[in-house]
Structures are given as C-alpha cells and as structure tokens.
Amino acid sequence: MWFGKEEGEVQPAPERHEEMSRPRAGERAARGGKHAGGSEGREPRAELWAGSGAGSAAEGEARSDSRAQGGKRVGVAQCIVGLPWGRAACKGESKKEEEDGEPTSKSDQERGLECTCKSRGIKREEKEGDGPFVSIFAIGGLVGAIIVTPIVKFFGRKCTLLLNNVFAVTAALLMSLSLLAGSFEMLILGRVIMGVDAGISLSALPMYLSEISPKEIRGSLGQVTAIFICVGVFTGQVLGLPEIFGQESRWPYLFGAIIVPSLIQVVILPFLPESPRYLLLEKHNKSKAEKAFQTFLGKDDVSREVEEVLAESRVQRNTKLVSILQLLRTRAVRWQVITVVVTMGCYQLCGLNAIWYYTNNIFSEAGINHETIPYVTLSTGAVETLAAVFSGLVIERLGRRPLLIGGFGLMVVFFAVLTVSLTLQKTVQWLPYLSIFCILAIIASFCIGPGGIPFVLTGEFFQQSQRPAAFMIAGTVNWLSNFAVGLLFPFIQGGLQTYCFLVFAAICFAGATYLFFVLPETKNKTFNEISQAFAKRNKVSLDMQEMNHYPGERKSSAEQESNFTSSVDNGETKKGIV
C-alpha cells in the first residue's frame, strides 16, 4: 500500500510481484526478499506473501536451508496488519457504510490497513511505503553477521550452525503464532530474529565449507550455499500456491514450515565432524583433526592433508585470531579486503530486487491473467536453481573470474535491453515477451556467478586467523547494502520508473570492471598461492607478507616451531602469541 503525499490520502499500489527479492540464505536469508502487494480491487493473496517469508527462512536455515535473501520479504508486515486483524477491525465501519448507502470502493486490504492504523493510533501519512518492513530483516542479519566471529571462535563452525537453529525455531514460532495472538509485533520480532539466523548462517556456513573442502572442489562445494538459497526461494514459491498454503487462513502454517529444515539440520549435523582446520590450527588438537579429515575424505592416511594445512599456515599458526581493526591495518591483505567489500556490495546492489518488483507487472502486460501468475512465477525460481547448480558444476573448470565477471557483464546487457523493452512495450505488441526473457536471463546471469562466488572468495582470500574477521566484514557490507536497497529502492523506482535499471546496470558494470583488473584466478590454488597472487598489488614481498599477516610482535621461528609442535602433539589448546 502506498500513501499519498496529501495528509490522509490513500492511493492504490501499483501491481507488484508477490516475491520481491532474494535471500540472500536465512533468510537472499539471506539473497534477499520478495515483494508483495496488490492493486486496487484485486483480492490480495496473504498466503503468497507469507510464502515468500517462509522461503526466506528456508534459505536462512540450511543452507541446509537463509533468501535470503534469506530473506528480505517486502510488505509481509503490512499484509498482516492490513488483512486478518485490519479486516476484523473494519467490519463495523464497512457495515455502517453499506447501511448509509455509501460506496465501498476500497479494497479489503486498503480498508483493513486504514482501520488498523486508526485503531492503533498510527497516522497513515507516517507510513511511507514498505522500506522499513523490508529493512527490518536486514537489521537482524547485520546483528547476526557482527556476533558470528566470537561465536565461531568459542563454539566452532559446526556447533555454531547447530545452535543457530534456536533462532530459526524461535522466529518460526513467533511468526506462525502471531495471528492467533493477534499481534503483528510478534511478526516483526520474528522477522528480526530470522534475520539474525540468516546473518549467522551466511557467515558460518561458507566458512565451514571452505575449511573442509580440498582445493580441487572448494569452489563447487562453496556454491552449495547459493544452491540451497535458490532451493529455499523455489520451495517458498511452491508452498505459496493457492492449492497448498496459498490461502489467507493457512499462512501461519507456512511460517511454521520454517521449523522443518531446522529439525533436519539438528538431526544430521551432529554426525558430521568439526572443521579440521579449526581443530588443528585453533584448538591444536591433531588427533581430532585427523579423524575429521578421515571422515570427510574417506581414507585412513591423511598425513599429507595435515602437512598441507600446517605448511599453509606456518607463518601465522601461533597467532591469535585477528580483529577487524587488525585485519584492516594488515597491508598484506589490503586488496583482498577491498575486493570482498566490492563483491559483497555488488551482490546486493546489482538490481535483482528491481527485477522481482517488475515481474508481476511484466507478466500481466504479456497477457497472463492474475490467477495464473503465481504458477508462471515458478519459472523464476526454477531458473535460479538450475543456474546455481550449473555454476557449481562448472566453477572448477571455468574458474571464479569468468563466472563472476561474465555474470555481471551479462546483467549489464540484459538490464539495458529490459529498459528499452519496458519503455516501448506499450507501442510494440511482442515486447512484453522480450521483457520476460530479459528477466529470466538476468536471474540466470546473477546465479551463475554473483549469486554465490562472493562467499567462496571470502573463504579463499584469508588465512585461518583472519577468516572470521573477514567474514564479519563481508557480512556487514552484505546486510548494510541489503538494508539500503530495501529502504531506498521505492524512492529510486518512483523517481526513475523503468530507467532505474540503468542505475543497476552502472553498478554491475563498475563491479565487472574492478574485478577484471584486480581479481586473480583462485581455482585449484592453496591459500598461500592466492596470497602470493595479491602480493604485488599489495606492494609487499613474500617475506614482508609473512611478517604482515599479523601486525604484532612475533617470537623467533625456532621458538614458534617448538611451541606449536608441542601443542599439536599433546592435543592441547594454547592461546595465540601476540
């Protein structure tokens, strides 16, 4: 529901797609959030809006799965306010209007929202668009990204993912019971908590996957995060169909479905080992690390893998985990940090939210009736999932650079074509079909590279002691960008209309240009080899790079060797040396 500039004036909302963004897993979970809305006179589908929220939760969950997005569902709170309780609160006024012979031209959603605001003492002119409701999920995600570093340090990667299900279950209960309790505040609180779950998941899971993966399949396994975010979004779309939970009376069950992936993770995850790198380099427990390697690799002799880990981290193995400030001061990783910031920023600012916003209207312009659009929309989720799977299959052959730069480059092209198509679609009969093709092409272009590779790169760029701080930086940029998109996009769209896609095309072009000149190929390389690839740009020699991995005092190499070997052999946990 959009509100006019004049005080008390209510204007009908433009046609919108029921699911505006992506997760992005927890909630794009993460890729971020689907948009909801309805035009005047059309029966709103609360269940579809709720369904997109469940998809977000599924992506936040398991990556076992946030959408995610993870997350980022627009207008859900407004839907809840404006339908069940608002409609009930409005029955008396509606009946009075009919008795007085006054026209009742307002839609149920519009009347419900107006009456609910009145009953709660909220001035309508204070509610300008859906931005705050979109962004509330991102606020939770930001909190999760900030607290993940101390949690993974203390509990480890696996236990962090396991304990994170407490947030998911709590959020599911709050949101599913909000109708029964008659409290939309419970829905908002549940949305924030689901954001925390997504923020933790989108940092802890890529970190865990990067540490358990052999270098030969590190990229493919890292793409699992993006694949399950897409699966979560598609699942939310399917469950939101009218035949399943796509009815107003059933949307609480859809929010409750978030518990299912949480329970699956709680049952399966305890049987998986902790990250062997975490056990070896942070807990200094060689026996448990060897057992973890044996479980993951399926062989008894893992001495070569253990030695590789020790060799890669020989320089900083006795160093405690660095903080964000220390990481930012480390000259040897300066360009790695900048690259992570750029890729994460472009991940959220590349314009996928705008695509979801226009999808419903474009389908309508192509002659698809409103009742059929939810089913046609499944094609977007299917394309997402197939593109993410394709990326996971070819990333170790083609590499990270071609997929990431190529994905952004293709988005620039299709954004330009889409802008022309939408501008002229009233004059040429077949242009709406071209617009549909551009939408699917943009979604596919995003998922083959920009949708998952930024998380892979964050795990590959940094040594063990730097990785938690690096993921905190990446997560902070991710969720702040998510927050900005949710808050500002309605104003950008309102001012530029279809030309808003040119803004996103410019962002994608800038990101692709930066990555073309700065990003080295990391395929099948060790962490040390990746650090060496950045050494020249960071203007440090290899020896200088080793000294700069931690900007503190260091003991002699001989003393470090003696201390570390003794610690590992005895299976003791020793604090790092400053």
Q: What is the 3-state secondary structure (H, E, C) of 73-101?
A: CCCHHHHHHHHHHHHHHHHHHHHHHHHCC
Within a domain: 327: yes
Nearest residue to 152 (alpha-carbon basis) of 565, 511, 469, 551: 469
Angle between helices 378-398 and 224-239 (to 10 degrees): 170
Residue 337 belongs to some domain of the structure: yes
CB atoms within 10 A of CB 252: 18
Query: Quick one: which of 255, 123, 245, 239 has its CA closest to 184?
Result: 255
Same domain, 306 and 375: no
Is residue 23 a contact partner of residue 232, using CB atoms and an 8 Å limit? yes
Check whether residue 202 and residue 244 sit in a common domain: yes
Task: For residues 338 and 261, state if they share a domain.
Answer: no
Please report the pLDDT score of residue 310 as a whole number. 82
Exposed / middle / buried, residue 320 (Cβ in 10 Å: 0-12, 13-18, 19+): middle
Q: Tell me, what's the pLDDT at 14?
A: 41
Q: Are residues 233 and 309 in the same domain?
A: no
Assess whether 193 and 248 both reside in one domain: yes
Contacts of 168 (CB under 8 A, 6+ apart): 26, 57, 60, 61, 194, 197, 258, 259, 261, 262
Q: What share of the chain is helix, strand, coil (3-state, %, to 5)?
A: 70, 0, 30
Supply the pLDDT for residue 134: 60
Identify whether residues 283 and 310 lie together within a single domain: yes
For 2, the 3-state DSSP assignment is: strand
Q: Does residue 53 form part of some domain?
A: no
State pLDDT tens for residues 553-564.
Answer: 444 444 444 444
Q: How many residues does the chain have?
A: 578
Give the per-residue pLDDT at 243. 87
CB 518 within 8 A of CB 417: no
> Does residue 194 fall inside a structural domain?
yes
Q: Are 307 and 320 in contact (CB under 8 A)?
A: no
- Please tell me the distance from the alpha carbon of residue 285 to that of residue 278, in angstroms, as a whole number: 9
CB atoms within 10 A of CB 49: 29
DSSP-assigned letter for residue 243: T
Residue 43 lies in a domain: no
Residue 487's pLDDT is what? 82
Question: In this structure, are 201 and 223 located in the same domain?
Answer: yes
Q: Which residues lie closer than 8 Å to 480 by C-beta, 6 or more apart?
A: 138, 142
Are 228 and 293 in a shared domain? no
Residues 234 and 171 in one domain: yes
CA distances in angstroms from 82 to 77, 109, 129, 246, 265, listed in the order given: 8, 5, 13, 17, 35
Closest to 272 measured CA to CA, from 212, 223, 214, 204: 212
Q: How far apart are CA 117 and CA 244, in angstroms?
A: 31
Q: Tell me if the pTM is above 0.85.
A: no
Number of domains present in the structure of the chain: 3
CATH code (residue 248)? 1.20.1250.20
Q: What is d(CA 153, CA 468) in angstroms, rounded to the nearest whole number?
A: 8
Residues 218 and 254 in one domain: yes
- Domain span at residue 311 reads 275-318
- AA identity, residue 151: I
Q: Do 363 and 462 have their domain in common?
A: yes
Instruction: Indicate whether 147 belongs to any domain.
Output: yes
Mean pLDDT, each 10-residue run in order, the chain (578 residues) = 36 39 38 36 32 38 35 38 42 46 45 48 44 75 93 93 95 92 89 94 93 90 92 90 84 88 93 92 88 90 85 61 89 94 94 80 80 86 94 93 96 94 85 90 94 93 90 94 85 86 94 95 87 86 53 43 47 39
Q: What are phi and psi of 416, to 5 degrees?
A: -65, -45
Is 501 domain-assigned? yes
Whether 342 and 407 map to the same domain: the answer is yes
* pLDDT, tens digit (0-9, with 9 covering 90-100), for 274-299: 999 999 888 888 899 999 999 998 88
Judge whether 482 lies within some domain.
Answer: yes
Contact 32, 443 (CB under 8 A): no
